[in-house]
Amino acid sequence: MECILLIDFGSTYTKVTVVDRNNQRIVCSSKTRTTVETDIMLGYGKALAKVQAQMADAEYEVIDCLVCSSAAGGLRMVASGLVKQLTAEAARLVCLGSGAKMMGVFSQKLTSGDVTRIEALNPDIILLSGGTDGGNNECIIHNAKKVSGAIGHIPYVAAGNKNASDDLEAIFEENGVYYKTTDNVMPELNQIQIEPARDAIRKIFMEKIIEAKGLGEVKEKLSKEIIPTPMAVLRAAELLAGGTDRHKGWGPLLVIDIGGATTDVHSACDGYPTRPGAVMKGLVEPFLKRTVEGDLGMRVSAESLKESVGLMTLNELSGEPYEYIEERCSMLSGNIDMLADTEKEVSFDESLAAAAVKVAVDRHAGKIESVYTPLGTLFYQTGKDLSSVDTIIGTGGVLVHSKNPARILEHSLLEEAKSEWLRPTKSKFMVDGSYMLSAAGLLAERYPELSFKLMNDYLKEAGRNEDEPQERKMV
Amino acid sequence: MNAVLVMGVIGADCHSVGNKILDHAFSEAGFKVVNIGVLSSQEDFINAAIETGADAMLVSSLYGHGEMDCRGLKDKCVESGIEDILLYVGGNLVVGKQDWEDVKRRFFEMGFDRVYPPGTHPDTAIDDLTRDLRLNIVLKGGRTDGVYSAY
């Protein structure tokens, strides 16, 4: 049997998944604690031993090994642009689309104070943008001078006005920093271009960050290419929505990942207006969009989740009194390994998850505003209209272990009272019960058919009651 | 290097035909047109102008509320650091039968550099813009020959 080894170095767990290429199935998987503080290979060795034990009787040959990582803080980035709603926002979306964790977003000319703040944030990469092609180049040149003159040890990606690139290269050379210049994140007004900057970020991640995070040995021994884990999930979403050469994709979809510290939402859809009379305003957001909510999580961020959604909402969702909510949230954020044991605790966890889904999808979705004009009511749409989404895939412990994940995911849908948010209207709910999305994403580029087949087989429809999960038919 | 101009229809006005014609005429004349389209706010114009490094802003209004919509635009430009940008406005700027000279004066007072009545041929504005841009360069001490391929 020809096997592919898929390894995910997570912040907490190192997961190893073995895929049988010929029979297109997951053979087995295992997870152990990530050991980035000592030697990352130790934890990996343990996880590998576990799968080897499970496969002791089989004859197999490992033909490929693919790796993603979010260990040691993941990929931490700072972005800067000119106008807050334009190039700074485009740069932010590019960073998120590259699988980064946003440490800060800056607009206009950077001040000495900004530079000090960036230094304190200590990102892994700084992305500079500003100006459309042929547009403003003062800002990005000023920012490059200012920040690369002061911070020399952090790699830079410059993706702004192409007319500035010669000057930028000269500045970076003079300051002796590691950099890549690439195509503009916003070549024309309101048009965002993600791929070139994303590739530059991925390359720097490979060339510089991996080593700095203590993953040098992984690169040497396991795989030359290592991508940030969120990028793998995005690739999985893209493949699943778009399909392969031989199979039709699932169409517009949403992936919601509820973690201990953050809630991530990924959408793979165009998001063009569907409401009659709606006019698009501002930045046209990308087909593949990712947002990360750092204040919404099940454990570390339980307290901030309570602050963000409010006691009243949590009370409505859980039926628990305010005192219990206060107590439980502060306890959870202090005890990140806490498992919910009793029925009451499980149910409260699910209420937290529902609140996280609700707010995270609101922030991801576009918004519609009505304008009353002499010509009648018109609608401005900013961001993506998610009403075409008809599949929502949930992942993360609370959903995977829930008896009723659909009840949690339902909170992503449109509410009558808040119809200005362009959330999905009706959808099928799926759950990634075997934590295979990032693994499938790793396979997506080199083995798209295999990756697509595995997702079709292993993502299960979320039962509304306690029905048996149903497998989705392949088209 | 082509001169860059931001054009659009201001306010809650969604008349798009004239906007398309102007886009075509100015592009044909060699300008780099950044068309932000209908229903554009003052902030949309300003953000677009900053990001694209525009030399001029062409504001259209057809539905009669132009005076209200344009008020304060120049001040916001100054505030946003693009005080040198040329501001043009044209269309059905006011309602009712008002004396054009009076209307024009009010828009000049608001800080616009050129104000056009309904029915102005695009060529008129193109000629004016060409002249004004040259003047701007001369005022800044630059040479105008071969600077704008617009003419």
Task: Give domain B4-139's CATH number out of 3.40.50.800, 3.40.50.280, 3.50.50.60, 3.40.309.10.
Answer: 3.40.50.280
Please indicate if any CB of chain A lies within 8 Å of the CB of B127.
no
Angstrom distance (rounded) from CA A290 to CA A384 = 12
Q: Residues A356, A357, A363, A369: is their CA dihedral positive or negative?
A: negative
Record the tokens describing residue A202, joined without a space: 């991925």
According to DSSP, residue A468 is labeled P
Please indicate if any CB of chain A lies within 8 Å of the CB of B4.
yes
CATH 3.40.50.2300 for domain A76-206, yes or no, is: yes
What is the end-to-end Cα distance of chain A in Å, rounded?
27
pLDDT score of A303 more than 80: yes
What angle in degrees, to the nearest 10, is found between the helix axes of A311-318 and A302-309?
A: 100
Distance from CA of B52 to the nearest CA of A (A): 4
* Lowest mean pLDDT, pick from A40-49, A153-162, B110-119, B133-142: B133-142
Closest CB to B12 among A189, A282, A371: A371
Query: DSSP of A297-354, one letter per residue?
Result: -SSTTHHHHHHHH-HHHHHHHH---HHHHHHHHHHHHH-TT----SHHHHHHHHHHHH
**Phi first, then psi: what are they for A6, rounded to 5°?**
-115, 125
Contact B47 A86 (CB under 8 A): yes
Angstrom distance (rounded) from CA A303 to CA A316 = 17
Q: Count H helices, E strands: chain B?
A: 6, 5
Mean pLDDT of A128-154: 95
Kindly report the CA angle at A26 between A25 and A29, in degrees rounded to 5?
175
Q: Residues A436, A439, A444, A450: is their CA dihedral positive or negative?
A: negative
- Reduced to 3 DSSP states, what percent helix, strand and coil does chain A have, rounded to the nearest 5? 40, 25, 35
Same fold, A2-72+213-224 and A76-206: no
Residues of A in contact with B12 (CB under 8 A): 371-375, 378
The pLDDT value given to residue A470: 44
Residues of A in contact with B48 (CB under 8 A): 86, 189
Mean pLDDT of B97-102: 91
Residues of B in contact with A277 (CB under 8 A): none
- In sequence order, what are the beta bridge partners of A181? A158
A residues 130-189 closer than 8 Å to B (CB): 130-132, 134-137, 161, 186, 188-189
Reported confidence tier of residue B146, pLDDT bands at 50, 70, 90 = low
Of A463, A470, A336, A459, which Cα lies nearest the Cα of A410?
A463
Q: What is the pLDDT of residues A420-464, one digit of tens each?
A: 889 999 899 999 988 899 999 999 999 999 999 999 999 999 865
Sequence ranges of the domains in chain A: 2-72+213-224, 76-206, 236-461
Angstrom distance (rounded) from CA A238 to CA A270 = 12
Interface mutation target, options A108, A109, A189, A280, chain B, most CBs of B under 10 Å? A189
Mean pLDDT of A9-14: 88
How distant is the alpha carbon of residue A68 from its chain centre?
A: 13
Closest CB to A135 among B36, B39, B51: B51
Amino acid at the residue B36: I
Mean pLDDT of B92-114: 93
Record the tokens describing residue A339, joined without a space: 């498992």
* pLDDT above 70: percentage of residues in chain B: 92
The pLDDT value given to residue A463: 66
Mean pLDDT, rounded, of chain A: 92
Residues of A in contact with B10 (CB under 8 A): none
pLDDT score of B148 more than 60: no
pLDDT score of A261 more than 50: yes
Closest CB to A378 among B2, B14, B51: B14
Record the tokens describing residue B63, joined without a space: 């539905």
Amino acid at the residue A260: G
Closest CB to A279 among B4, B39, B48: B39
CATH H superfamily, domain A2-72+213-224: ATPase, nucleotide binding domain (3.30.420.40)
How distant is the alpha carbon of residue A97 from its chain centre?
A: 7
Mean pLDDT of A171-178: 97
* Beta carbons of A139 and A171 less than 8 angstroms apart: no
Q: Could you identify the residue written with the tokens 């040890």?
A: A153
Nearest CA in chain B to A82: B51
Please indicate if any CB of chain B lies within 8 Å of the CB of A87.
yes
Q: What is the pLDDT of residues A315-374, one digit of tens each?
A: 999 999 999 999 999 999 998 888 888 999 999 999 999 999 999 999 999 999 887 777
Q: What is the pLDDT of residues B17-41, one digit of tens each?
A: 999 999 999 999 999 999 999 999 9
Angstrom distance (rounded) from CA A231 to CA A66 = 13
Query: DSSP of A27-96, one letter per residue?
Result: EEEEEEE---SS-HHHHHHHHHHHHHHHTTTS--EEEEEEEEE--TT--EEEEEESSIIIIIHHHHHHHH
B55 has catalytic annotation: no
What number is the ipTM of this complex? 0.79
Angstrom distance (rounded) from CA A464 to CA A163 = 55
Contact B53 A137 (CB under 8 A): yes
Reported confidence tier of residue B97, pLDDT bands at 50, 70, 90 = confident
Amino acid at the residue B135: L
B132 has catalytic annotation: no
Closest CB to B47 among A83, A372, A374: A83
* Beta carbons of A451 and A416 less than 8 angstroms apart: no
Closest CB to B51 among A136, A279, A371: A136
* pLDDT above 70: percentage of residues in chain A: 97
Q: Residues A299, A218, A459, A31: is their CA dihedral positive or negative?
A: negative
From the candidates B15, B44, B65, B128, give the one annotated as an active-site residue: B15
From the candidates B13, B55, B69, B113, give the one annotated as an active-site residue: B13
β-pair type (A263-268, B56-61): unpaired
Angstrom distance (rounded) from CA A401 to CA B91 = 63
Residues of A in contact with B14 (CB under 8 A): 279, 373, 375, 378
A residues 184-223 closer than 8 Å to B (CB): 186, 188-190
Contact A134 B63 (CB under 8 A): no
- In sequence order, what are the beta bridge partners of A104? A78
Please indicate if any CB of chain B lies within 8 Å of the CB of A296.
no
